[in-house]
Amino acid sequence: MTEEALQEEESSLFALGNALLRNRWRVVRWAGVGAAVAALSVVYSPTLFQASASFVPQGSDVGRSPLGGLAGQLGVTLPASNPSVSPDFYSSLLQSRELLGHITRDTFIMRELGNRRVAFLDLFKIVPGAASRREKLGVKLLTELVKPTVDKKTGIVRVELNTRWPTVSLDIVTALIAGVNEYNQRSRQTQAAAERKFLESRLATASADLRAVEDRLEEFLRTNRAFTTSAQLTFENERLKRNLALHQQVFTTLTQAYEDARIREVRDTPVITMVE
């Protein structure tokens, strides 16, 4: 850098310093105004209360059921897992209209307001109008407030929510967990009901087939009392007995699967495991 350029740079820096020195009080005033605005924004911003919950979804047990055992005997492989019970499914379910719509139509007992009961749409000041439009706006608001996350390593699903009222935050998260359980139970019970109807029909057919095989063996034994003296009759007896054993096994397995489906159809135990 030339001597002339150095002199120009020193001159510009000197001029900048003089300008700051002449306007030092103005700079101090603007800095004070900025600090005051920042302090006021902190003081007057509403306090938010967070509620959260974590749970682990239970996997499908179709492969371990008697129906799965029967499918294995028949050479059919049932899927080991069901995408409808994956953690990502639950994450989407927590922001679905299926769950959020019920909450927007609900009311909350506000301990912060003297135990007054307030409707969700009124509490969050959803603009008046048609009920369907207000509910749609409420669902949109809840979609922004409800924040689900999934830990890919552990499969734990976490949902959290921030509102201005601690009781409302807690009530909404509690309603979300209850909604997940209710939706999952209803889905599993519907699936179990469909399985029961199928097994009921299949069991009636298997029972008739078993009875027919038993009748054939009974007829054979009645008309061939001394079949052991004939190789052909002995072979026919063994064939009928093997056929009877196979039909008995199918009938027993179907009976177990039918009873299992009947139990699952009315089971109301939680289908998620709470972690936090």
Is 252 exposed, middle or buried, given 0-12, 13-18 or 19+ CB atoms closer than 10 A?
middle
Residue with tokens 């902190």: 42
Give the closest residue to 251 by CA, choosing from 195, 221, 213, 218: 213
Flag whether 141 is in a domain. no
Tokens of 257: 């699967």
- The DSSP 8-state label assigned to residue 68 in this structure reads H
pLDDT number for residue 209: 93
Tokens of 206: 């298997």
Flag whether 124 is in a domain. no
Asked if the model's pLDDT at residue 118 lies above 60, the reply is yes
Collect all residues with Cβ–Cβ distance below 8 Å to 62 and sequence separation of at least 6: 68, 78, 79, 82
When pLDDT is cut at 50, 70 and 90, the band that residue 130 belongs to is confident
Please give the helix or strand (H or E) that residue 53 lies within, else none.
Answer: strand 49-57
Mean pLDDT of the chain: 79
Assess contact for 101 and 67: CB atoms under 8 A: no
Please give the helix or strand (H or E) that residue 38 lies within, else none.
Answer: helix 24-44
Q: How many domains does the chain have?
A: 2
Range of the domain at 206: 49-95+146-274
Residues 35 and 71 in one domain: no
Q: What is the mean pLDDT of residues 83-109?
A: 85
Alpha-carbon distance of 264 to 192, in angstroms, equals 6
Residues 84 and 195 in one domain: yes
Residues 156 and 269 in one domain: yes
Flag whether 104 is in a domain. no
Give the closest residue to 255 by CA, choosing from 76, 71, 67: 67
Alpha-carbon distance of 191 to 194, in angstroms, equals 5
User: Is 182 or 45 the better-scoring residue by pLDDT?
Assistant: 182
CA torsion angle 210 63 71 73 (round to 10): -80
Residues 89 and 152 in one domain: yes
Residue with tokens 């097994």: 199
Sign of the Cα pseudo-torsion (249, 250, 255, 257, in order): positive
Residues in the chain: 276
pLDDT number for residue 4: 52
Alpha-carbon distance of 272 to 87, in angstroms, equals 11
Residues 61 and 185 in one domain: yes
Flag whether 200 is in a domain. yes
Flag whether 206 is in a domain. yes
Residues 36 and 150 in one domain: no
Residues 35 and 157 in one domain: no
Flag whether 103 is in a domain. no
Please give the helix or strand (H or E) that residue 40 lies within, else none.
Answer: helix 24-44
Residues 7 and 64 in one domain: no
Alpha-carbon distance of 94 to 90, in angstroms, equals 6
Q: What is the mean pLDDT of residues 106-134?
A: 86
Residues 39 and 159 in one domain: no
Please give the helix or strand (H or E) that residue 158 lies within, else none.
Answer: strand 157-163
Residues 86 and 65 in one domain: yes
Residues 179 and 263 in one domain: yes
According to DSSP, the residues that pair with 53 across neighbouring strands are 159
Alpha-carbon distance of 243 to 224, in angstroms, equals 18
Does the pTM exceed 0.75? Answer: no
Alpha-carbon distance of 157 to 56, in angstroms, equals 6
Alpha-carbon distance of 2 to 45, in angstroms, equals 55
Phi and psi, residue 54, nearest 5°: -130, 140
According to DSSP, the residues that pair with 116 across neighbouring strands are 110
Flag whether 177 is in a domain. yes
Q: How does pLDDT run across 19-75, given as a tens digit for each residue?
A: 556 665 665 566 655 555 444 444 445 688 999 999 988 754 444 455 555 555 555
Q: One-letter amino acid identity for 154?
A: T
Flag whether 128 is in a domain. no
Residues 263 and 238 in one domain: yes
